[in-house]
Amino acid sequence: MILTRNSQALIRFSVGGGNPAVADGSRGGNRGLSVRIDGDGPGQTEFVMVNAPVNFARTPAQMLGFLEARRPGANGQMDPEKVRAFTEANPETTGQARYLASKPIPGSWVGVNYWALHAYTLTNASGAAQVVKFRMDPLDGTVNLTDDEARARPRDFLADELAGRLSASRPAGFRMVAIIGRPGDPTNDVTRMWEGEDSRPVVELGTLHVRAAADAARCDGTIFAPTILADGIAGPADDPMFAIRTPAYAISITKRQN
Ligand code: HEM
pLDDT tens-digit map of 176-217: 999 999 999 999 999 999 999 999 999 999 999 999 999 888
Give the range of the structural domain holding residue 249, as residue numbers without chain letter: 9-62+101-257
Q: Tell me how far the alpha carbon of residue 81 lies from the centroid of ligand 1, in angstroms.
A: 26
Q: Per-residue b/e over 196-213, b at no fewer than 16 CB within 10 Å?
A: ebeebebeeeeebebeee
Hey, whose CA ends up nearest to atom 10 of ligand 1? 32
Average pLDDT, the chain: 95
Question: Residue 41: which CATH number?
Answer: 2.40.180.10
Q: What is the pLDDT of residue 18?
A: 84
Is the residue at 95 inside a domain?
no
**Ligand 1 near 10 CB (within 6 A):** no
79 inside domain: no
Ligand 1 centre to CA of 170 (Å) is 29
Phi, psi of 3, rounded to the nearest 5 degrees? -125, 140
Does 2 fall in a domain?
no
CA of 133 to the centre of ligand 1 (A): 18
- What is the residue with the minimal CA distance to atom 26 of ligand 1? 245
Residue 137 lies in a domain: yes
Residue 241 counted as domain residue: yes
Inter-CA distances, 178 with 86, 120, 181, 197, 201, Å: 34, 10, 9, 11, 9
Domain count, the chain: 1
Q: Is 3 a domain residue?
A: no
Q: Which atom of ligand 1 is nearest to the CA of 249?
A: 38
Question: DSSP readout, 125-141?
Answer: TT--EEEEEEEEEETT-
| Cα–Cα distance for residue pair 69/123, rounded to 1 Å | 40
Query: How many Å lie between the centroid of ligand 1 and the Cα of residue 249?
Result: 7
Run means of pLDDT, 10 residues per run, the chain, 258 residues:
76 92 93 94 94 98 97 94 98 97 97 98 96 98 97 97 96 97 97 97 96 89 95 97 96 89
Distances (CA, A) of 156 to 20, 153, 160, 196: 11, 8, 7, 36
Q: Which of 210, 147, 151, 208 is nearest to 177 (CA)?
A: 208
